[in-house]
Chain A
């Protein structure tokens, strides 16, 4: 039972990070039907910003918790600015171009950002300071979950809660939902669609940056390439849950995290990714739109 719980929480930790990134994919797709392949790089930039900010802050004699909070906020702000700018540079000029053009632009952006960070920083792995102290849980729960894992799960939960409240109750949230439903109609009703799109990118980037800071703190090292693999996994999670659906992205991410964790624990880690993708294929065979995705008629 303890082993099961350990694996359950390991999967939940991983799934939470996937969820934070997957939300950006799914929201952007929901609004402008674009797979933003540069999104994984936002996560990576979030982690790097946090590292640099932590380095600057270490000069002042602040308590570690304060450093963690400031660093996270800085990373979120900075990465959101990146998300906003990427949309303006790479996607907005192509909004009326064929969808493939925007996709290529996204891939180009992703490669550009990777190389930019590679040149500006290094290709080495860089140590990330442990900003969350190692607090102890009560026995026998002590070994089930690490403190940084717990922080990941709680932070993700709070972020999800805030996001759903934001989408449900604010004017902007309403405008987002309207734009996602029918962009042209929303425009006719006087919704500033450009602003909605920008906001979507900003919110998605903020979540990804949060994920970047949390994971860097959890595993203690980052390099310029971490965004690629995490991005692919999160994208898989978004498709699994039904791309375009916010609850779907979270569900897909958690299922993916648990699949990886339990297949490692009970079968073999050699085939962890194989099981994850078998699951994806099986679900897509029976429900091509993803678990919570809505069936829509696509014009081809």
Chain B
């Protein structure tokens, strides 16, 4: 192959690239997240969900006569790869992005999208600061942030159960302690309610009698626990054995069948927050059915959140009649959209209104969703 021919190829190559950019008769939807590596199981369901939604739109003639093109980029949940993926999607002229999957990677990628205000909607990044810091006006998500659970726990404890003096206990882990710190903050912000105790226990310790006594001595009228079920079941068991019948409220690390199995009769009456049960939503059923038909298996993590994210962003583009970022973002905030997670729109920060957690209570050996 001589140099001239190579040069010719290069020119052809560049021309083809530029043609596909300039002839923008499609709407380009990026999907970024972990599609390989050990966290791939978190990212792949979103790609599948986005594909279903895009196929559905294209079958009906696209948006305003334009077909939708899906651009998939892998970031392995690594911040540095997420930056590359974001850069690549931008250079391909992407109009909106569904992703990224992990909070750290999402944060890194957002700094790239921000330069052109590309709307980004994540199905799974729960870090509260992503929306609440106000640094990323182009960011939305279809999953409730970590602090939403703590908010719900505190509201439930104060408004529904009428607690005044709450002990906040955690397992010192990132998840449990994070939730407990939010719970503490929300309790302190509430008039007339006190944090009776704020302490971490050592996971796996032999016995929690001393901390249970301390809760009792603090005259707490309820306990909020941040952490997972092994510690929760030990603490509840020891509390109940000492005839402390004050409410015990925990999180989705405890809303687990194993908790009831292990704590047995002592689990009765325990409250735990967990994602809203959407299994009766017809759209969720339909999305699940599609997945089952195409892939022959149940969908994985964040599949429905990814589905809702793709629907929300395409619906906004449709309503805005434009891919202009400002108009799309405005549409995200003003128009409700029917999704498998329910009817949602987005608040000023970018968090979905209508998506979130419910309070469950153990009744007769199973978790029952409460109407709160």
Contact = CB atoms under 8 A, between A and B. Distances in A.
A6 to B, nearest CB: 4
A246 B229 CA distance: 37
A259 to B, nearest CB: 11
Given A146-B241, A219-B237, A7 B230 contact: no
B261 A215 contact: no
Given A220-B237, A270-B200, A142 B243 contact: yes
B216 interface: yes
A166 B262 CA distance: 38
B207 A229 contact: no
Interface string B160-176: 00000000000010000
Contacts of A10: 207, 209-210, 213
B262 A134 contact: no
Interface stretch (A83-91, A124-132, A187-195, A285-293): A124-132
B256 to A, nearest CB: 10
B206 A17 contact: yes
B205 to A, nearest CB: 7
Given A125-B262, A127-B264, A219-B234, A229 B211 contact: no
Contacts of A219: 206-208, 234, 237-238
Contacts of A116: none
Contacts of B263: 127, 220-221
A3 B262 CA distance: 29
Nearest to A218: B207
Given A7-B213, A261-B209, A270-B172, A220 B233 contact: yes
B261 A127 contact: yes
Contacts of A142: 243
Nearest to B266: A220
A41 interface: no
Interface in A228-246: 229-230, 233
Contacts of B216: 6, 143
B230 A146 contact: no
Contacts of B262: 125-127, 220-221
* Interface SS of B by simple majority: helix
B213 A269 contact: no
B223 to A, nearest CB: 14
B258 A13 contact: no
Interface string A131-153: 00010000000110011110000
A48 B40 CA distance: 36
B209 A269 contact: no
Nearest to A229: B204
B242 interface: yes
Interface in A258-280: 260-262, 264-265, 268-270, 272-273
A29 interface: no
Interface string B250-264: 000000001001111
Contacts of A143: 216, 242-243
A225 B204 contact: yes
* Interface SS of A by simple majority: helix
B199 interface: yes
B209 A233 contact: no
B2 interface: no
B111 interface: no
Contact of B210 (A11, A18, A146, A221): A11
B80 to A, nearest CB: 33
> Contact size class for A?
35 or more
A220 B229 CA distance: 13
> Contact size class for B?
20 to 34
Interface string B188-219: 00000000000111101111111101101100
A269 B206 contact: no
Contacts of A39: none
A6 B215 CA distance: 12
A14 B210 CA distance: 10
B205 A148 contact: no
Contacts of A134: 241
Contacts of B208: 219
A265 B213 contact: yes
Given A124-B258, A142-B243, A221-B262, A272 B202 contact: yes
Contacts of A273: 202
Nearest to B205: A229
A54 B242 CA distance: 24
A10 B237 CA distance: 15
A54 to B, nearest CB: 14
A299 B234 CA distance: 46
Contact of A215 (B172, B206, B214): B206
Contact of B241 (A148, A226, A265): A148
B207 A13 contact: yes
A260 B208 CA distance: 10
Interface in A133-179: 134, 142-143, 146-149
Chain A CB within 10 A, most for which of B202, B204, B213, B214: B213
Given A7-B213, A9-B209, A219-B208, 19 more contacts: A6-B213, A10-B210, A10-B213, A13-B209, A14-B206, A14-B207, A18-B206, A127-B261, A143-B216, A215-B206, A215-B207, A219-B207, A219-B237, A220-B234, A220-B262, A229-B205, A265-B214, A269-B201, A272-B205
21 contacts: A6-B217, A7-B210, A9-B209, A10-B209, A11-B210, A17-B206, A125-B262, A143-B216, A143-B243, A147-B241, A148-B241, A219-B237, A220-B234, A225-B204, A230-B206, A233-B206, A261-B210, A264-B211, A269-B201, A269-B211, A272-B210
5 cross-chain pairs, A with B, having the tightest CB-CB distances, nearest first: A10-B209, A264-B210, A261-B210, A6-B213, A10-B210
